[in-house]
């Protein structure tokens, strides 16, 4: 089985680190994974995306053309990439920023940035709330995700990120 | 998951795999100057090399970086630098010096999109010919091109091994996509990896630049009386700047010590090359589209074979010729404007139609769909 995921938003929202953790977790779960990324010349505020392909087999072409899961953390990202979502694909949006959503798609709305600010007092944990929901949907084990967080992020932020990820995972499906 | 907690399976970036492989190969000296998309190699080695008693140094530019690397090599270190196109330009003069003085070292060129500053953060494959002919004079280059994070690791080790075995600079020609992607990688235990070290001289040896195909190499401070010069020199390192024979002997030996060992240096992944209607010759990031394309073509009952070059230079002519003998047509996808294409055409000797598929700009990969379309067009020509 092969799952293609695109996580998109703006620079600074953590779409690259979310993709990195997702790919690493998939590998810890015994799968193959490739993660690529692209972002503008500016560090913050420009369009950013991270793509992850997860498969039981060897992965050839490393870029995502049609995705099974699209995460949009900004309206601009949704508008740009929604055409690449497969028919039965899952759309996950940060509903703090994404308001106009096409009706036909399977969509999970998470007010990630609002929640992150409310619970963790920082917007930067929004990506972990999304990652929690995302990994549950595509069947990556919690254990693998938490280990991937430990191996990817700086020690001092690991616990809060794990908490945010767990919260995302526990959101009603 | 438990089984996979083994230390040998990682999810690494290409640059990280390259840096870790350098350490494994015995590299203890790195000098470089930051440049997108190669900076992560320097960053990683700046953290890691001191843990192994090695040295990582940021020089004032790329000219100084390669100078430090050849100096370190003559001090007995396995040494490496990493750069991208614009920095690779600046290194060419000293790469020639390293070739002429038979200085083992590894130069990593993570290709980005040129010419000049071009699109600095995007991927390209425009340095293929530069990696072969970048410096002046008659020389032979060993150039390896990885197409996965796994190969960033394996070919970095191979680059060091070739450098040490053949006493010559070796270029690892990576690209932005392979260097920046993260991927599953399996690192075998140290025991499973073959490491080659340069041959050291016996105390009575004096000819460090000839008499044998690949002479032994002393290090500064070991008590050998050795002059190292980029000018034409005899077997003992003595300059002969007008003698025809000395020059012929030296430069022909330097070329032959590589060209006579193409079989050892060739490293090509092949599939169905003796039984196909259409062939593909590819390398680096572009080759990642090949696998899906072959599958899709086979579903359409078309036999496709491929030669995927891990060694680009010396060019593995024999394998490409074999492919040309069976395939009616060979497609050469490249993220440049026909750099390997003419080599494939030359090696094919008119036995197959060689057709280019080129894409430059924005770092966009040639997709399996585009490659398949080119393959299916075959009846139209």
Q: Classify residue B261: in a domain, yes or no.
A: no
Q: Which two tokens stand for residue B82?
A: 């990493």
Q: How many CB pairs under 8 A join A and B?
A: 71
Q: Classify residue B109: in a domain, yes or no.
A: yes
Please say which residue of B138, B158, B192 terminates a domain. B192
- Does the distance separating the beta carbons of B182 and A20 come in below 8 Å? yes
Q: Classify residue B115: in a domain, yes or no.
A: yes
Distance from CA of A117 to the nearest CA of B (A): 30
Q: What is the pLDDT of residues B196-244, one digit of tens each?
A: 999 999 988 889 999 999 999 999 999 998 999 999 999 999 999 999 9
- Does the distance separating the beta carbons of B290 and A32 come in below 8 Å? no
CATH of the domain at B139: 3.40.50.970
Same domain membership, residue B279 and residue B133: no
- Residue among B66, B27, B76 nearest B49 (CA): B27
Please say which residue of B192, B223, B250 terminates a domain. B192
Same domain membership, residue B175 and residue B39: yes
Q: What is the domain extent for residue B158?
A: 2-192
Q: Classify residue B240: in a domain, yes or no.
A: no
What's the ipTM?
A: 0.92
Strand ranges for B15-118 from DSSP E: 27-32, 55-58, 78-83, 105-113
Contact status, residue A81 vs residue A99, Cβ threshold 8 Å: no
Q: What is the mean pLDDT of residues B140-166?
A: 98
Same domain membership, residue B123 and residue B21: yes
Contact status, residue B311 vs residue B266, Cβ threshold 8 Å: yes
Domains located in chain A, CATH noted: 2-170 (3.40.920.10)
The pLDDT > 70 percentage for chain B reads 96
CB proximity list for B190: less than 8 A, separation 6 or greater? B24
Please say which residue of B158, B176, B192 terminates a domain. B192
Q: Classify residue B225: in a domain, yes or no.
A: no
pLDDT computed for residue B1 by the predictor: 42
Structurally, chain B folds into a number of domains equal to: 2
- Does the distance separating the beta carbons of B363 and A34 come in below 8 Å? no
Q: What is the mean pLDDT of residues B295-312?
A: 96
Same domain membership, residue B321 and residue B176: no
Tell me the helices (H) and strands (E) count for chain A, helix number first. Answer: 6, 6
| Smallest CA–CA distance from B150 into chain A, residue | A34
User: Interface of chain A against chain B, CB under 8 Å?
Assistant: 20, 23-24, 27-30, 32-38, 41, 58-63, 65, 141, 143-144, 147-148
- Residue among B340, B333, B345 nearest B286 (CA): B333
Model-level pTM?
Answer: 0.95
Q: Classify residue B145: in a domain, yes or no.
A: yes
End-to-end CA distance of chain B: 52
Q: Classify residue B27: in a domain, yes or no.
A: yes
pLDDT computed for residue A103 by the predictor: 81
Q: Classify residue B248: in a domain, yes or no.
A: no
CATH of the domain at B310: 3.40.50.920
Q: What is the pLDDT of residues A21-52, one digit of tens each?
A: 999 999 999 999 999 988 665 556 678 899 99
Q: What is the mean pLDDT of residues B156-168?
A: 98
Angstrom distances, CA of residue B356 to CA of A88, B144, B281, B286, B313: 37, 21, 10, 13, 19
What value does the mean pLDDT of chain B take?
95
Comparing CB atoms, the residue among A30, A35, A61 nearest residue B1 is A30
CB proximity list for B336: less than 8 A, separation 6 or greater? B124, B125, B126, B128, B358, B360
Of the pLDDT bands very low, low, confident and very high (cuts 50, 70, 90), residue B367 is very high
Report cis status (omega within 30 of 0) of the bond before B115.
yes
Same domain membership, residue B276 and residue B187: no
């Amino acid at each position: 089985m092969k799952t293609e995921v695109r996580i998109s938003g703006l620079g600074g929202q953590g779409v690259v680190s979310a993709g990195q953790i997702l790919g690493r977790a998939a590998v810890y779960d015994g799968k193959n994974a490739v993660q690529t990324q692209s972002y503008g010349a500016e560090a913050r505020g420009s369009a950013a995306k991270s793509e992850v392909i997860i498969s039981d087999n060897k992965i050839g072409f490393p870029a995502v053309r049609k995705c099974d899961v699209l995460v949009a953390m900004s309206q601009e990202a949704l508008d740009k990439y929604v055409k690449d979502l497969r028919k039965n694909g899952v759309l996950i949006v940060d509903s703090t920023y994404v308001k106009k959503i096409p009706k036909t798609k399977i969509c999970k709305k998470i007010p990630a940035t609002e929640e992150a600010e409310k619970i963790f007092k920082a917007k930067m944990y929004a990506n972990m709330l999304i990652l929690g929901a995302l990994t549950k949907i595509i069947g990556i084990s919690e254990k693998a995700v938490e280990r991937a967080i430990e191996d990817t992020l700086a020690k001092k932020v690991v616990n809060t990120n794990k908490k945010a990820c767990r919260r995302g995972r526990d959101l009603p499906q | 998951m438990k089984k996979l907690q083994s230390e040998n399976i990682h999810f690494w970036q290409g640059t990280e795999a390259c840096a870790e492989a350098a350490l494994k190969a015995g590299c203890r000296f790195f000098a470089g100057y930051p440049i997108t998309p190669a900076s992560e190699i320097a960053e990683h080695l700046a953290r890691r090399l001191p843990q192994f008693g090695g040295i990582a140094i940021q020089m004032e530019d790329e000219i100084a970086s390669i100078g430090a690397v050849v100096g370190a090599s003559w001090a007995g270190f396995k040494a490496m630098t990493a750069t991208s196109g614009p920095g690779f330009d600046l290194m060419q003069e000293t790469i020639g010096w390293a070739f002429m003085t038979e200085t083992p070292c590894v130069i990593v060129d993570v290709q980005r999109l040129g010419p000049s500053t071009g699109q600095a953060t995007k991927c390209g494959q425009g340095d293929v010919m530069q990696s072969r002919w970048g410096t002046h004079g008659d020389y032979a280059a060993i150039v390896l091109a990885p197409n996965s994070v796994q190969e960033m690791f394996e070919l970095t080790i191979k680059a060091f091994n070739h450098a040490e075995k053949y006493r010559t600079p070796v270029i690892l020609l990576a690209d932005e996509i392979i260097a920046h992607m993260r991927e599953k990688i399996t690192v075998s235990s140290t025991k499973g990896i073959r490491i080659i070290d340069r041959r050291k001289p016996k105390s009575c040896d004096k000819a460090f630049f000839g008499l044998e195909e690949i002479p032994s190499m002393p290090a500064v401070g070991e008590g050998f009386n050795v002059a190292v010069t980029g000018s034409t020199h005899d077997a003992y390192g003595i300059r002969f700047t007008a003698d025809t024979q000395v020059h012929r002997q030296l430069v022909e030996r330097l070329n032959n010590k590589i060209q006579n060992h193409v079989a050892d240096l060739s490293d090509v992944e092949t599939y169905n090359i003796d039984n196909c209607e259409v062939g593909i010759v590819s390398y680096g990031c572009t080759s990642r589209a090949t696998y899906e394309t072959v599958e899709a073509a086979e579903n359409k009952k078309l036999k496709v074979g491929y030669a995927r070059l891990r060694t680009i230079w010396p060019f593995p002519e024999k394998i490409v010729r074999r492919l040309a003998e069976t395939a009616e047509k060979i497609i050469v996808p490249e993220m440049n404007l026909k750099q390997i294409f003419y080599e494939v055409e030359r090696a094919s000797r008119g036995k197959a139609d060689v057709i280019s598929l080129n894409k430059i700009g924005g770092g966009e990969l040639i997709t399996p769909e585009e490659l398949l379309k080119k393959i299916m067009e075959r009846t139209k020509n």
